[in-house]
Every structure is written in structure tokens, then in C-alpha cells.
Amino acid sequence: MPYLLPVIAERPDEAIEKARQDTIERAKDIWGLDYADSSDGLYPSGNMIGRSQFRPDQTLANNASPTVGLPSTNGGQWVTVVSLAGGAAANMVTDANGWGTFFDFIVDEDAFIIIEGIQSTDTAPTIREVRHELSGVQLPVMQIEEIYNNGEDVVKGYQEIPVVISPKSQFRERIRSSTVGASIGEGFGILGETVAKRSHLILETY
């Protein structure tokens, strides 16, 4: 199971590359399409498979699916402002133990998501623990306090083994804040990438 590396500045490039290549092969088999090899997937053309960063708006790519997602009104930012299905955007609210649902959505049928780690851009971060749930399977809770002591403006923590989420699978993330029973709106998000059909990668979500 994934966990944060003790040396948080060290990006596990070999593990990420392996997860990427395995996912590309799965995508080619499932969709019967070619991968944009000439640009390493960054510039797919026509009906090809490519890759890009996993974007906040992609948590609401299928507007009918999410219970909680990150709305397009966030302006493409990773921030704990969420939108409940059919509701307006608002800061995430924690429970009496500090836990709250960051997002809970069904991955688009034309995309895989590779989760590589987490990031924070907040000047006074409160988030201390993270838990991923994939189609009902709960992964171990990750305690992330160590990432805030690296002296960088954008702090990052990488998972030793990236998590790959398949099309049409549920992806839920719960986060725990030291702010208990109140709303939080801070810069926090996922480090990852999307391997998908070109039509999904170029989509501007509203």
C-alpha cells in the first residue's frame, strides 16, 4: 500500500514511470487506440491517447456523478472549496474529529488517474491526515505533517507506489484538519496525472 516517502523532496521517478507505462498499455488495450509516442503523450492528435496533469476540474468532469467535487468556480486551483451534487460551492466543513470529504466522484469513462502524491500551497496549513478510497476499498491513513517542514513555498509529499484509478471507478478522498467542526478553505491538492483519450484531455470543464 502507498505511503509517503521519509524524504519528501525525493520524487520516485522509476515508480511513477512504471505506473505510467503500465497504465498506457491498459488504456491501449481497453480503448483500442494508439498512444502519442512521438511527444511522450503530451500532444495527442486525432483519436489518440495522451497524458496531462490531473486537474481539479476533472473531479467534476462527469457532472452527474460526484457527491462532492471541486467546482469550476475554483478557477483551476487546488483548494478545499467543494461543491455538493446540485449545490453551490462552499468551503469544506470538518466534523468533530477534523475529518471532511474533499471529493467523491466517478472517474470519467475515457480516463485513468495516477495519484503520485499531495501538495499544499497554504501559508498556514491545517491538514494533517489523508485517506484515499478506491471503489469502496479504503487505503491506510497517511499522516502528512512532515511535509510542511521542507522550507519550500509549495510543499509536496510523494507516495512510494503511485495509485492508479481505472475508468468508471469511484475515487474518494477524505482529509483531516486541525480545524475541528468548522469550514476550511486552503490550498491543498493532488499530485498526479491523467492518461486519457484526447477528447477528455482537451475538455474545458464549466
- What is the tens place of the pLDDT at every residue in 71-130? 888 999 999 999 876 678 899 999 999 999 999 999 999 999 999 999 999 989 999 999
CA dist., res. 7 & res. 4, Å (int):
8
Q: Are 49 and 31 in contact (CB under 8 A)?
A: yes
pLDDT at 67: 82
Q: What's the pTM value of the predicted model, to 2 decimals?
A: 0.90
Please count the residues of the chain: 206
Distance CA 190, CA 158 (A): 10
pLDDT reading at 131 higher than 70: yes
Dihedral Cα 42, 45, 49, 52, nearest 10 deg: 30
User: What is the C-alpha separation between 112 and 65, in angstroms, rounded?
Assistant: 16
Q: Cα–Cα distance between 44 and 38 in angstroms, integer?
A: 9
What per-residue confidence (pLDDT) applies to 149?
77
- DSSP of 55-112, one letter per residue? PGGGGGSSTTS-SEE--GGGTT--BSEEEETTS-EEEEE--TTSEEEEEEEEPPTTEE
Spell out the domain ranges in the chain: 13-201
C-alpha span between 108 and 114 (Å, rounded): 13
Largest CA distance in the chain: 51
* Residue 170: predicted pLDDT: 92
Query: Which residue(s) pair with 156 in the sheet?
Result: 119
